[in-house]
Structures are given as structure tokens and as C-alpha cells.
Amino acid sequence: MSTVLWVHCFTDGRITSDQQDLWAMYRYSDRLDSLCAKIGVRPLSEFHDTTDAEANLGPAPDESAGTFDAYVRMASRGKWFSPEEGLEIIDRLLDALRQNPLRFGLLKDRYVEVMAELSACRQAIDFARQQRAKFNLCVVT
């Protein structure tokens, strides 16, 4: 299994996710972060949350193994962000990539996949905004 991103939403103590695998956004996060720096916005990787990946390792020292729940850990310890900020960055990235397409990948150009995933991510973050929820880009292994 490969590592991907999922857009998680958090509102009223509950986490939801569309569970769409955003593999290209994860795979090319360094390249996207470089573009973020070039256009003067916060790096997209700062919205990554590794709580789920860490939960796969088992309960933390202060958690009981019998009652351990990854979603409870994500709700209490995860990094959550304003959808408005996420939308601004995604929109700026999409605009920059439409104006000046970049190559993603050495053997095969994954530009189309990156653009499709950024658009899907934007849609999921906009849904979070409509629900008055926070969001993160959850690293899932």
C-alpha cells in the first residue's frame, strides 16, 4: 500500500472524509511546496496531518490499548485548519499551474493527475467551508 492524502473535515467533534486517494499530491508535495514559495503562499505540506499514520503504530503511552480509537486521537491531537486559507492556496496553485504548466515526474509527466487532484482537493475543502468545518490533508499509509 502506498502513502496518500485524504481530505478530512472536523466539525462538532466528528471527523468525516471522502477517502479519495490523492497520491500525486502526496508524491509531488515537495514540488508543490516549491511552487508555493515561488508564488508567495504557505507551503501546502503544512496542511498535512500525520496523526492517522502515527495511529497505525498503536496507542500512545497515555492511551489505553483496549479503548484506542484513531479517530478520537485525530480529533484531539490532529492539526486542523481554516478552509478559507486552504482554498486560497489551492486556487493560487491551480492558477499558477494553468498559466505555466510544470512537469511532475521523470519518466512520465503527471501534470494532469496533479491538476485533477488539486481540483478534487479544492472541492473537498470547499465542502468543509460550507459545513463550517476545519480540514486537514491527512497522510494515510
Residue with cell 479503548: 67
8-state DSSP, 4: E
Burial (CB count within 10 angstroms: exposed 0-12, middle 13-18, buried 19+), residue 37: exposed
Walk along the chain (141 residues) and give the pLDDT tens digit of each residue. 589 999 999 999 999 998 999 999 999 999 999 999 999 999 999 999 999 887 666 655 565 555 557 778 888 889 999 999 999 999 999 999 999 999 999 999 999 999 999 999 999 999 999 999 999 999 998
User: CA–CA separation, 119 vs 122, rounded Å?
Assistant: 5
Residue with cell 489551492: 90
**What pLDDT score does 66 carry?**
54
**What pLDDT score does 60 carry?**
59
